């Protein structure tokens, strides 16, 4: 029996449905066209996501995506709005067009590890649904626009490893849903403004931020767990309040110009509850004695005060700590006898007590490397003979 062609055609068409109707919102299509047009053609490899964006051959949200718009965007369930723009890291070069603001339902904008340059357009504040903004490892310059602080849905902002300058927006605290902020490896200056209450992870490493670290900046950040402020130019004394922030777990302030620290045991309401596990304060200008109160933090496992200007003996509390597993005190002017627990061959603590003025710190002990300072330097540091 022979089937008629007229009978087979509907069946075949149902098996190979390819949508040719325009589905995507015209404003989204216009924004995507402008976005691609702002990228230099010679930086778009033939096999890349952007190369597959052919607006004359297919609608961006049409399915299936076998040859066009194969990657780079994700659309809503009804295929009418673009919800994610996530580029592949192939070295696209160009500016971020202000017309990106047309993608008003965008949840994720990720251009990481490319060569986008120029300023971040202030119109980015129109992305009212944006939850994740990732511009890491590009060449964006200029200041961080104040309009970024109007991204009220943003939970994560990562613009690290660019060339941003100027100060942080004063209205940063208005980002009421922000949990992660990473602006490390830029050229930002000034002080830290008041931080969002919802913030959990703050990374401002390797900028040119300066001045004392103010309690007012952190006063409402009750959920803050990780603070990375290393390689800046912070000065002054770091108050005891800093180590007693309600949720703090990890602190990195290495390579600054901090001259003093105040450390007190955790308040009774925190005692036994403090989650502070790691403190990095190496390569500053901290003078005075090594704070014994660090040993009172019940979960502290890592402490570094290396290459500062500490004098006096190593607190006995450090040796008695049951949690401390990593201790770096090298490069100071500590004197007295090295604690036996740290110099015995089977010590469970790693780190260094080297380059101090200690007695009883044999070169064969792992924690005693490098060797102690010459006696003449120690004598000069103490204005005479080092105290026992």
Q: Return the pLDDT at 268.
A: 59
The pLDDT tens digits for 57-101 are: 899 999 888 889 999 999 999 999 999 999 999 999 999 999 999
Domain assignment present for 279 = yes
Instruction: Quickly state the pLDDT bin for 384 (edges 50, 70, 90).
Output: confident
The parent domain of residue 132 ranges over: 73-382
The pLDDT tens digits for 281-301 are: 999 999 999 999 999 999 999
Q: Say yes or no to pLDDT of 139 above 60.
A: yes
Q: What are phi and psi of 329, to 5 degrees?
A: -120, 10
The whole-chain average pLDDT of the chain stands at 92
Mean pLDDT of 98-106: 97
Q: Say yes or no to pLDDT of 166 above 50.
A: yes
The pLDDT tens digits for 208-248 are: 999 999 999 999 999 999 999 999 999 999 999 999 999 99
Q: How buried is residue 144: exposed, middle or buried, by Cβ count under 10 Å (0-12/13-18/19+)?
A: buried
Tokens encoding 86: 């996530």
Q: Return the pLDDT at 2.
A: 47
Domain assignment present for 57 = no
Domain assignment present for 10 = no
Domain assignment present for 200 = yes
Q: Which residue has the higher pLDDT, 21 or 105?
A: 105
CATH code (residue 272):
3.80.10.10
Percent of the chain with pLDDT over 70: 92
Q: Say yes or no to pLDDT of 133 above 60.
A: yes
Domain assignment present for 220 = yes
State how far the Cα of 353 lies from the Cα of 273, in Å rounded to an integer: 29
Q: Say yes or no to pLDDT of 134 above 70.
A: yes
Q: Say yes or no to pLDDT of 168 above 80.
A: yes
Q: Return the pLDDT at 143.
A: 97
The pLDDT tens digits for 299-315 are: 999 999 999 999 999 99
Q: Which residue has the higher pLDDT, 268 or 133?
A: 133
Q: Return the pLDDT at 94.
A: 97
Q: Which residue has the higher pLDDT, 139 or 12?
A: 139
Q: Return the pLDDT at 67.
A: 85
Q: Return the pLDDT at 243.
A: 94
Q: Say yes or no to pLDDT of 18 above 60.
A: no
State how far the Cα of 54 lies from the Cα of 62, in Å rounded to an integer: 12
Domain assignment present for 181 = yes
Domain assignment present for 235 = yes
State how far the Cα of 60 lies from the Cα of 52, in Å rounded to an integer: 10
Domain assignment present for 186 = yes
Q: Return the pLDDT at 1.
A: 44
Mean pLDDT of 359-363: 88
State how far the Cα of 153 lies from the Cα of 264, in Å rounded to an integer: 38
Nearest to 85 by CA among 142, 127, 46: 127
278: enclosing H helix or E strand:
strand 278-280
State how far the Cα of 358 lies from the Cα of 356, in Å rounded to an integer: 6
Percent of the chain with pLDDT over 90: 85
Q: Return the pLDDT at 385.
A: 62
Mean pLDDT of 171-199: 97
Q: What is the DSSP string of 256-275?
A: SEEEEE---PPPTTTTTT--
How many distinct structural domains can be found in the chain? 1
pTM: 0.91
């Amino acid at each position: 029996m022979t089937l008629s062609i007229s009978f087979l055609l509907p069946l075949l068409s149902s098996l190979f449905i390819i949508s040719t109707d325009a589905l995507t919102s015209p404003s989204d299509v216009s924004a995507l066209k402008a976005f691609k047009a702002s990228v230099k053609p010679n930086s778009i490899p033939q096999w890349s996501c952007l190369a597959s964006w052919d607006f004359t051959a297919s609608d961006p949200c049409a399915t299936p995506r076998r040859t066009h718009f194969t990657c780079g965007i994700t659309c809503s369930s009804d295929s009418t709005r673009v919800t994610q723009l996530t580029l592949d890291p192939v070295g696209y070069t160009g500016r971020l067009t202000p017309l990106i603001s047309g993608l008003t339902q965008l949840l994720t904008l990720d251009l990481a590890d490319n060569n986008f340059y120029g300023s971040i357009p202030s119109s980015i504040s129109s992305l009212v649904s944006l939850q994740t903004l990732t511009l890491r490892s590009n060449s964006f310059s200029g200041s961080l626009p104040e309009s970024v602080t109007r991204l009220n849905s943003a939970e994560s902002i990562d613009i690290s490893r660019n060339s941003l300058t100027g100060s942080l927006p004063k209205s940063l605290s208005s980002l009421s849903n922000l949990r992660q902020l990473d602006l490390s490896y830029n050229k930002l200056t000034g002080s830290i403004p008041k931080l969002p209450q919802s913030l959990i992870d703050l990374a401002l490493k390797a900028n040119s931020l300066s001045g004392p670290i103010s309690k007012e900046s952190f006063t409402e950040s009750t959920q803050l767990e990780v603070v990375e402020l290393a390689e800046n130019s912070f000065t002054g004394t770091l108050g005891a309040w800093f180590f007693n922030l309600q949720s703090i777990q990890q602190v990195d302030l290495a390579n600054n110009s901090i001259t003093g620290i105040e450390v007190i045991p955790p308040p009774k309401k925190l005692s036994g509850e403090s989650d502070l596990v790691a403190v990095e304060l190496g390569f500053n200008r901290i003078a005075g004695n090594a704070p014994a109160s660090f040993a009172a933090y019940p979960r502290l496992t890592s402490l570094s005060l290396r290459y500062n200007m500490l004098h006096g003996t190593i607190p006995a509390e450090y040796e008695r700590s049951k949690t401390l597993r990593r201790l770096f005190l090298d490069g100071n002017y500590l004197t007295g006898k090295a604690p036996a627990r740290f110099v015995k061959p089977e010590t469970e603590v790693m780190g260094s007590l080297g380059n101090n003025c200690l007695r009883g710190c044999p070169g064969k002990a792992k924690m005693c490397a490098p060797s102690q300072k010459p006696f003449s330097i120690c004598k000069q540091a103490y204005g005479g003979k080092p105290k026992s």
